[in-house]
Structure 1
Amino acid sequence: MTTVYTETEPAFIPVQTRSERPHSYDPSDFERPTGREVNWRHTPLDALAPLFDVDAAAGDLDVTVTDAAASALRVGDAPRGSVFRPEDLPAAVAWVRATEADHVVLEGERDEPVFIEVTGRGGVAHAHLVIEARPNAHATVVLRHRGSTTLAQNVEIIVGDGAHLELVSVQEWNGGSVHAASHQARVDRDATLRHVVVSFGGAVVRVNPSIELAGTGSRAELYGLSYSDSGQHLESQVYLYHKGAETTGDVLYKGALQGAGARSVWIGDVLIGPDATGTDSYEANRNLVLTDGARAESIPNLEIETGDIRGAGHASATGRFDDEQLFYLQARGIPEPEARRLVVLGFLSEIVQRIGVPSLEDELTELIERELAQGISATVSEGASA
């Protein structure tokens, strides 16, 4: 018996973990997504199709910065690109198409938030924003999105040694808008980044934060809040990379969903690298499904490459509206619409209260109240007609 050995092409092994994904500034290095890729499996690709085209006609986008120094950076101008490396096609297209990036520099102690207003005026748009907190700076930045657009947006965040930066990204797009945002940050020695994503408006909103805790003693607090109405798709793919020693990570995203076709997607990836000794990290996602026809997907992942850590864990939970809570409140004379409002508001307010800026917390609470009023009114009306 003769055995013949032949060489064959190696089997294709798909990229599974966030740390393995390729990076490139050249859009031609990325294949057009098919929906089979791990990072596109849960995303409605048809809506994002214009953002895959490097030659798409440009739409109008206004960016206004209040109470902070701002300048323009071309490709090759530092610090643009010192942190950001596109990991998907829309981010690479935005890197090329955004010929000038807005550069916001933060220094010293700032008592009032810096507001960056992004307003869509229709069409397909691309943007790159660099937010740099210089060493020992202490500042809050509110990045607010309004209007109508199909936008690919890159946000590059640099948190210098000993700095404390809070970035709150609020998505209040008009119906029909599409927003694919890639946020990438580096947090240096003894620095803290509190990153908050609040998504309400828009047809498809995908905000993906990627945070590298590079310096010893660095810390990241990543919080998210979303309210998905009928037909909306709200998504976040979170990546927290513990690179330095004695780093701390706290991730908590909460979402409420209501209406036919309402959908949320949360994917949380935490990597504790081989040099990240003494790390303490935890991630969690909680979803409240308020009506039939809504769907929440939650996928936490944890990779640990060193055994010398203080702690690491993850959790995920998705549940329906608690009828017992509703009954309890109604039995004490609280009308059903108000009872529903109290339960949902209590669930979501945990994220708002972590922001630490009273004026912004009040504003976001009012925004939640508006969403609840619209959704609860529709729910009660449907119940009455049934």
Structure 2
Amino acid sequence: MNTGDHNDVRIPGTRAARILLAGAAVAVVSVLAVGCGSPSYPGEPLETLPPHTAGAVSLGGLGVETSGGRTLVFAFDDVGTVLGRVEGERIDATRVLFSADSLVTVTGEAVTVLTEQGRTDIPIDEHTISAFSHNPATGAATVWFVRGRANNFVSIDADQQVRHGSVDGMVHTAAYCGDRQFAIIENIPTATGPRTSRFYELLSSGELQLRGQWQTEPDHSWASSTSVCTPDSRSVLAFNTDYSAASMNAKGPAMTLVSIDIDTGIPQYTTLQMPEGGDGVLRGTLSVSEDRLYWINPDKQVLSVPVIGSPTVIHEWTVPGAADTTTVSVHDAVVTAIDHQNQPVLSRYDLRTGIPIGDPVELPWLDSIIGSPAGDTIYTLGSVAGTP
């Protein structure tokens, strides 16, 4: 698995305390749920994407459980009312993504695409997502799944054409550059020593074309399962973390920006000068705006560095709310965040300045689901997305 990618799925102390205090009640609810069938959740099953959808959330297990639990996805409007849901078998590391006219999400049963015209379910039998990338302009998306020592993929074009395939090794990070898509893949190591990183383009035919390869040191790790494209669409930008530097660097592991030419496959490395405590990348938060690369770390700090130029990373601002109970995503220079320390509230901010966009939206129905049990699963908020 990609150890550097933060899924942001921690149960905070405040919620954990509340769950412990209500332990007896939870046990009773669990017994009743078993005796009376599956728990009921708000909203009817979605067959289309409602025209007034303002956002969506996905929920799943806190970790890799062995039984019980589902993947839950809820769409809601601009006042927080649930418009419907997608529900299926549990899958680890799922997300929900919006394009201009569609929603894409994944359960253990299917990759689901919702538009205002209808619903497409692409059947799968998978348990863990390794990477999930999409083109927000067209709705094209590709999901990579761990399958033993290989990764399977499901790729949906903008015209809803579906392609399946498999590749040996683990997909560590993936990105779209316009209509072209790319992935960095490494064989799952069986011994110590350098690993071969392979840079592939996934062609429209469904074939993988090798664009380049290089050696990666064993104490280096790809920091985010999502990567991005430069403004000129000539290079993929990804983060690499050097854990060997942690013992010599009081600030922790060193982070490197890797820029990979999409045609030659040649990587260029820039070691970043990080602010103290600024390491780590939350998935779904990498974004390029006005020739700067932005991302959010686990402490919910918004960081940036020039795409080309100075390696000095700037701490731009910090997303309001408790870091342990706030889930974030970034799309089109907008940060969408839900803080569920008390009653869940969705807020949006300008990525560059931190200035709030619109009014906060309360999601009271979400409160009873986060932290609730189903089998040996404790539901956690896995991802949030706002419509473009």
User: When the two structures are superposed, what TM-score results if normalisation uses the length of structure 1?
Assistant: 0.29
Structure with the higher fraction of residues in helix conformation: 1
Q: TM-score under structure 2 normalisation?
A: 0.28
Higher RCO (C-alpha 8 Å, min separation 6)? 2
